[in-house]
Amino acid sequence: MSPYAARPWGALYEANQEGGVPKASNIVSIFKKSVRSAAAQPAVIYFDQKISYAELDASSDAFATALADEGFGQGDRLALYLQNTPAFVIAALAAWKLGGIVVTVNPMNTARELALILDDSLPKALVCQDELYRDVVSGLRRTLPAVFTTSAFDFQSRNDRRIFGGLSRGKVASNLIQLIEARKGRSATIIEPAASDLAMLVYTSGTTGVPKGSMNTHGGAVITAESIARWMHVETGTPVLGVAPLFHITGLIAGLALALVRAAPLILTYRFHPNVTADAIEEHGAGVAFCAITALMAMLNEGTVRADQLKSLTTICSGGAPVPAQVLRDFKAKFGHYIYHGYGMTETNGPVVLVPADREAPIDELTGTLSIGVPTPHTQAWIADENGAPAAIGEQGEIIINGSSLSAGYWNNPEDTAKTMQPDGLRSGDIGFMDANGWFYLVDRKKDMINAGGYKVWPREVEDVLYTHPAVREVAVVGTPDSYRGETVRAVISLKHGQHATMDELQEFCRQRMAAYKYPRIIEIVEELPKNSSGKILRRALRDAFSAGQAAPAPKIG
């Protein structure tokens, strides 16, 4: 019996342990197994087009031959500079079949940001969207790898103006479909990777510093996806909503890999739009969705999204950023769905601490913090105190993660690898605690702690209070320089449509609910908060702007 059996969720943990921790495997063999069992079933759904598992196998074989003709082979890197389209899935599978490594690139990256990743990863080939080739790639002053282009308009004919209205085809014609059609029936020599082989270089979002390429293995990806499927009771064939960006670890593992391990369709809509996403759920019967809390908040605050559109969903999960308890309550009241939520990092291959299926997370009575869940079967997690020793129950400290899904380190970066990947586990940089029943709670990022006149203030606590105000839509709290206190608490807030609140009102609201040193001395109301394209609010962008004496930066939303 595992040490978790005495916990309130112990029976569920034991049930999910049947057969032990998921076995390490590789994405190619998992995909081939799904092709054999579900050849005629949809593998990818993109607006009005469905691509079967057999068709996806043939298309990825065909593109693999195009890569092989460019000299692409085992260990080579393929950069994908794409939104959520079938081309991403086809190209990734083609690279993996050749023993290659997929390098995911945020399609919002500028030329400078793209160049940094290309210079670090040195890909043999690049697949990008035609407008990104026109606007970004073609202007790079360097020798480029082999470049293949695709279009948002490929693989569908609906041309939904809510998504495609602002898009136009680039000057360079898309050539991916033509290459695939010309090579159908051909296949390159397929290599079945080892579980320890690298599958992906996933660059960190940069919210805590310079992006680093996390070296994620085939085995880590499969183990995490299979653990999620067991933990959340995802049945074979359950349609997976791919709303999280595929360049992000959540989209790769809790979207693409989850669909592959369950021989299920992956539903793609190019990028997130609250109404388009709701329509896709309704039309295609999505059963499970992993998405950023900001996406769920957008659906909650979009008055035209209806509860009946989401009725096919059996599981909605969120991660990547803390879930305010009030948002969870509001979402359930409006749509009837509980948001299961969890915790993970690029370096853990996504979610490794999750609220178990059929359970609701407790809220810590002292801090009001919502639990992030419990470790999944392949994960060990603990809290380290300031001396690096295990913290007492309820004591705050750094969250340490260990287990079979961890990244192999950072590409070309042994120093940061050694600093982060220590023998007793991965140093997350996140502060949390564990209660007597084994539930984990995330307090905040260690680097985001505000020192206000010697008092520690965690932004998350202030944000959670502000989210309970009926007019508040989104909020970010940061420390800003103060000549007297050193730092003072500053809140940047966007309001719900049609709602009104003043700085004085919001300040008084906080003053009544928290200690005097915690409430925000400065409150700024903006239309939108800056986010990265995985939906995470960029506290660092706000903090940097305020430190430089600038206004809150304009939103950067993909």
Closest CA to 352 of 254, 419, 208, 241: 254
Task: Tell me the C-alpha distance between 453 and 461, whole Å.
Answer: 18
**What average pLDDT score do residues 172-193 get?**
87
Task: Tell me the C-alpha distance between 449 and 443, whole Å.
Answer: 10
Residues paired with residue 451 on neighbouring β-strands, in sequence order = 456
Question: Beta strand 371-375 with 379-384: parallel, antiparallel or unpaired?
Answer: unpaired
Cα-flanking dihedrals φ and ψ of residue 305, to 5°? -80, 125
Asked whether the predicted pLDDT for residue 408 surpasses 80, the reply is: yes
- The pLDDT of residue 208 is 44
Task: Tell me the C-alpha distance between 473 and 484, whole Å.
Answer: 31
- The pLDDT of residue 558 is 41
Task: Tell me the C-alpha distance between 371 and 322, whole Å.
Answer: 10
- The pLDDT of residue 531 is 81
Question: Beta strand 198-203 with 266-268: parallel, antiparallel or unpaired?
Answer: unpaired
- The model's pLDDT over 9-35, given as tens digits with 9 standing for 90+, comes to 565 556 555 556 677 789 999 999 999
- The pLDDT of residue 272 is 93
Q: How many CB atoms lie within 10 A of CB 334?
A: 15
Residue 125 in 3-state DSSP? strand
Question: Beta strand 472-482 with 455-457: parallel, antiparallel or unpaired?
Answer: unpaired
Asked whether the predicted pLDDT for residue 162 surpasses 80, the reply is: yes
Task: Tell me the C-alpha distance between 462 and 196, whole Å.
Answer: 42
Asked whether the predicted pLDDT for residue 556 surpasses 60, the reply is: no
Q: What's the CATH architecture for 449-547? A: 2-Layer Sandwich (3.30)
- The pLDDT of residue 460 is 83
- The model's pLDDT over 95-128, given as tens digits with 9 standing for 90+, comes to 999 999 999 998 988 888 899 899 999 999 999 9
Residue 413 pLDDT level (bands cut at 50, 70, 90): very high
Residue 261 pLDDT level (bands cut at 50, 70, 90): very high
Top mean pLDDT of 76-90, 135-149, 511-525 is at 76-90
Torsion of CA 59, 96, 348, 103, to 10 degrees: -80
Query: Do the Cβ atoms of 172 and 75 come closer than 8 Å?
Result: no
**What average pLDDT score do residues 304-326 get?**
90
Residue 293 in 3-state DSSP? helix
Query: Where do the domains of the chain lie?
Result: 449-547
Sequence-distant (6+) residues with CB within 8 A of 512 are none
What is the average pLDDT score of the chain?
88
Of 268-272, 459-463, 513-517, the one with minimum mean pLDDT is 513-517
Task: Tell me the C-alpha distance between 543 and 524, whole Å.
Answer: 13
- The pLDDT of residue 322 is 74
- Which residue has better confidence, 442 or 31? 31
- The pLDDT of residue 484 is 64
Q: Using alpha carbons, list the distances in angstroms from residue 467 to 48, 183, 323, 344, 373.
A: 38, 54, 10, 23, 21
Asked whether the predicted pLDDT for residue 189 surpasses 90, the reply is: no
- Which residue has better confidence, 206 or 230? 230
Query: Do the Cβ atoms of 274 and 299 come closer than 8 Å?
Result: yes
- The pLDDT of residue 1 is 36
Task: Tell me the C-alpha distance between 106 and 104, whole Å.
Answer: 7
Of 52-56, 151-155, 550-554, the one with minimum mean pLDDT is 550-554
- In the chain, % of residues over pLDDT 70: 91
Query: Do the Cβ atoms of 462 and 477 come closer than 8 Å?
Result: yes
Asked whether the predicted pLDDT for residue 6 surpasses 60, the reply is: no
Asked whether the predicted pLDDT for residue 274 surpasses 60, the reply is: yes
- The pLDDT of residue 292 is 86
Sequence-distant (6+) residues with CB within 8 A of 119 are 142
**What average pLDDT score do residues 63-91 get?**
96
Task: Tell me the C-alpha distance between 470 and 152, whole Å.
Answer: 38
Confidence (pTM) = 0.84
Q: How many CB atoms lie within 10 A of CB 107?
A: 22
Of 7-16, 355-364, 402-411, the one with minimum mean pLDDT is 7-16
Asked whether the predicted pLDDT for residue 323 surpasses 90, the reply is: no
Cα-flanking dihedrals φ and ψ of residue 202, to 5°? -110, 115
Residue 3 pLDDT level (bands cut at 50, 70, 90): very low
Asked whether the predicted pLDDT for residue 537 surpasses 70, the reply is: yes
Closest CA to 47 of 163, 211, 216: 163
What is the DSSP code string of 130-151? HHHHHHTGGG--S---EEEEE-
Residues paired with residue 303 on neighbouring β-strands, in sequence order = none
Task: Tell me the C-alpha distance between 327 and 318, whole Å.
Answer: 12
The amino acid occupying position 105 is V
- The pLDDT of residue 109 is 85
- The pLDDT of residue 270 is 96
Which contiguous run of DSSP H or E holds residue 25?
Answer: none
Which contiguous run of DSSP H or E holds residue 73?
Answer: none
What is the DSSP code string of 420-477? HEETTEEEEEEEEEE-TTS-EEEEEEGGG-EEETTEEE-HHHHHHHHHTSTTEEEEEE
Asked whether the predicted pLDDT for residue 394 surpasses 80, the reply is: yes
**Angle, alpha carbons 371-375-381 (nearest 5°):** 95
Residue 491 pLDDT level (bands cut at 50, 70, 90): very high
Sequence-distant (6+) residues with CB within 8 A of 271 are 83, 84, 163, 245, 533, 558
Q: Is 206 left (phi over 0), alpha (psi -120 to 50) or beta?
A: left
**What average pLDDT score do residues 521-531 get?**
89
DSSP code of 537? B
- Which residue has better confidence, 469 or 6? 469
- The pLDDT of residue 544 is 76
